[in-house]
Each structure stands twice: as structure tokens, then as C-alpha cells.
A = this chain, B = another copy of it.
């Protein structure tokens, strides 16, 4: 029996339809729960996740394209997200900084089963993991959220974290005045009942229970601030550090904090952990979640979640989206791969008497 070898394409518009139909809050809640489950059950014998690799360059303008692979043994699948980070995209091309797509392969045959937009899923899952980390490490009565950087990622940070805490105050700033100015408008569809306060970094660090940093600060230009006095329980989600030489949080603050990387190996290459020797680095989020009770005292202390991004998160979000795409009959099947009539003859399509499919 010849396998059906079509590739399911799920476009950005399909994902928009899913989000509209399921509801933005419902999708985020499901994703936060799915991310939590995937992390706490993470087993590196079941999910094999090599360190991502890629090209980074300064011409034509600063950017990178990298591939993030994961193999799931139980699913008989490999997922590869290919993601571009080009901080000048918004200014130069009115495009998002992060553009990506997600491919899923069948490990029985090598067939490309599905190709999905990765842009919205990346924002969503980056928000979701920050919510998971904030729930673990954040002050139990957190009600103020600070956002340094008001681009695309700030929206999903706010959205996700507001699903796990009753946020009543949002302090925000961006180095670009227009981006800062448009932020509140861009948050409208979240329907949050909270006060938005345009601030400087000083105020954000002083007044927030939780802060997410998601900036395009340049290589070697970090940190975003220094020598500020935060609340004693400040939890920071360091989202923007995911490039060698790029970091956001001051070393002095990191050294006073429990620093939890999503994945220490990767975080030491491109996260805040680049700045730290091993003695200052805590355990991976997967391990921290497993010992949440033991670590509960950290909720009243400085903590930093060093988020560099895991293909595991992309597996979770694409699982959810594929489930809805199938139940809603969204997406389209394309016969991309040339598996034509005779598997031992790449030219069989040229013959008159083609072998009949079995």
C-alpha cells in the first residue's frame, strides 16, 4: 500500500481562523497548560533536541536564520522550525522581526507531513513559557507587570502573564517613541482591565512585580539598564537575549538572582547566561518545575527566567494548532514531494506505460 504523501499547509490565515474560532484566551490557556505539561514531563530520551544552529550575519543587515530541530520518538516525528531574526524588519520592510515556519516530518519515511506558519505560533509560545516561568517564580500576589520593549513579543508577554496573574498595572517603555505610543492601542483586543503607564526603565524596575524584557538591543550594547533597585521579589522574563553577544539584564542583577534558563546549554551560547559562570546559573526550567515546592521560597526573591526558545515549545503549539486545523478542516493538502509512480525510477513520469499504483 502506497502511503498518501501529501503535505498539510497551515498558513498564517488558517491560524488566525483557529484563534478567532477558539478564542484568544482559550488558545493561550491551552498553550500555557500544554507547555507546562511538556516541560514537567520532559524526557531527553523521548524528545531529542540538539542545540540549534544557524547563520548569523551583519550584512545585508544584522540578522540570523537558524534551525531548531526536535525528534519525538513517541510521535514518530521530527519537527524543525526555521526562524529568522532581523531586527530592522519593522523599519525597513514593515515586517515582523521574527519570521518563521515549522515543518514536521514522519520518521518512518522522511515525508514532510505538515508545514505551518511559525510567526504567530512563535509569539504565542514565547508568551506561554514566560507565563509558566512567572507562575513558578513570580511573587504570589503579583499585580504589576513591566514591559521593556513594546514590539510584537510584548503583546503576547502581557497576554500570557495576565492569564496567570491578576495584573492591574502595566508599566511599559520602548526605545522607539512611536512603538511606545502605539502600545496601548495594540493591546486593546486583550480586553484587560488594567492601567497602562508609559514609564522609564527606572520606574518599571522599581514598581513591577514581574518584568519581561523583549527588546532589539544591539549586539554588545546591553544591558538595558544598571544599578536600579527593584522590589525584593522581582521576577524577570529575559526574552530578548537569544543571539551571541546580545543580552538585556545587568550582570549585577543576575548575580543577585536565581537564574533559570530554559536550556542551559543554549542559554550559555545566546542567552543571559552568556554573562555568567556556572556557579551563578540555576537549573533548567524543566527541572525547576519538577521541584516547584522545594523552590517556592524563590517567589519572594529575585529570579530571572532566561528564555532562548525551545523546539519543544514549537512542538506543543503546533500540536494544538494541527488538532484544531484538522477538526475545523482548515489548511490545504499539497502533493509537494515527487514520489510519483515508480519509487525506483525518478523518470517514470516520462514513460508511457507507467506502473500502476499499488
Please list the residues of chain A having a beta carbon within 8 angstroms of any beta carbon in chain B: 1-3, 5, 9, 11-13, 15-16, 19-20, 24, 48, 50, 53-55, 57, 59-61, 63, 65, 67, 69, 71, 73, 76, 78, 80, 82-86, 89-90, 92-101, 103, 105, 107-112, 115, 117-120, 123-124, 150-152, 155-156, 159, 179, 182, 186, 188-190, 334-340, 342-351, 357-358
Contact = CB atoms under 8 A, between A and B. Distances in A.
Contacts of A338: 11-13, 15-16, 117, 119-120
A166 to B, nearest CB: 21
24 contacts: A1-B93, A5-B99, A9-B336, A11-B335, A11-B336, A20-B350, A24-B347, A50-B53, A60-B108, A65-B107, A67-B67, A82-B105, A86-B110, A94-B358, A97-B343, A99-B112, A99-B339, A115-B115, A115-B336, A118-B337, A119-B338, A152-B344, A179-B344, A186-B347
Given A124-B346, A345-B155, A71 B90 contact: no
A188 B351 contact: yes
Given A60-B108, A65-B78, A189-B350, 17 more contacts: A1-B94, A3-B93, A19-B347, A19-B350, A65-B71, A65-B110, A82-B105, A83-B110, A84-B110, A94-B343, A95-B339, A96-B339, A96-B343, A97-B343, A99-B112, A100-B110, A189-B347
B12 A60 contact: no
A96 to B, nearest CB: 5
B344 A182 contact: yes
A92 B101 CA distance: 30
Chain multiplicity (copies): 2
Contacts of A93: 1-3, 108-109
A240 to B, nearest CB: 14
B348 A186 contact: yes
B182 A107 contact: no
A7 to B, nearest CB: 8
Nearest to A358: B94
Given A338-B16, A350-B189, A53 B55 contact: no
B119 A186 contact: no
Contacts of A358: 94
B16 A351 contact: no
